[in-house]
């Protein structure tokens, strides 16, 4: 999991940036197993998605965010896996999308600074 040889009792803080393909109000969601917190924006102190429960795969959110197209927004994701299976998938619903129109956020919309 996440580059380790461990399959359980793993925690990670993932930092980087996310950009959105159009301006407007997006809904952010996460499929997660076990727990996570997602912060968006410079200096964000409160997570926009927060689910610390230790449970099987479940959908967290949505969180409404109003964004500008092609701006790189800082993000921080805290994730942990206690035992059993693991999952972490971020998705969004574009402005005007209806229920069932969630899209997995593709890699091209994420970036990070070199270490």
Q: What is the pLDDT of residues 73-106, one digit of tens each?
A: 999 999 887 777 777 899 999 999 988 899 999 9
pLDDT of residue 2: 59
Counting as low any pLDDT under 50, the low residues of the chain are none
**Separation of alpha carbons 42 and 40, rounded Å:** 7
What topology is assigned to 10-95 in CATH?
Jelly Rolls (2.60.120)
pLDDT of residue 11: 84
pLDDT of residue 81: 79
pLDDT of residue 83: 72
pLDDT of residue 40: 97
Residue with structure tokens 């461990």? 6
pLDDT of residue 109: 98
**Separation of alpha carbons 40 and 97, rounded Å:** 21
Q: Are the CB atoms for 15 and 62 separated by under 8 Å?
A: no
**Separation of alpha carbons 103 and 90, rounded Å:** 9
pTM, rounded to two decimals? 0.86
With b for 16 or more beta-carbon neighbours within 10 A and e for fewer, the 6-29 pattern comes to eeeebeeeeeeebbbeeeeebbbb
- Under 8 Å CB-to-CB from 81, ≥6 apart: which residues? 1, 7, 8, 9, 10, 11, 33, 34
């Amino acid at each position: 999991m996440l580059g380790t040889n461990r399959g359980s009792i793993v925690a990670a803080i993932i930092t980087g940036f996310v950009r959105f393909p159009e301006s407007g109000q997006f809904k952010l969601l996460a499929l997660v197993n076990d727990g996570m917190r997602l912060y968006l924006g410079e200096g964000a102190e409160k997570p926009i998605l927060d689910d610390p429960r230790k449970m099987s795969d479940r959908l967290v959110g949505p969180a409404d965010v109003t964004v500008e197209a092609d701006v790189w927004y800082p993000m921080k994701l805290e994730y942990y896996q206690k035992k059993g299976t693991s999952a972490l998938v971020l998705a969004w619903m574009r402005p005007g999308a209806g229920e069932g129109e969630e899209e997995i956020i593709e890699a091209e919309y994420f970036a990070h600074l070199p270490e």
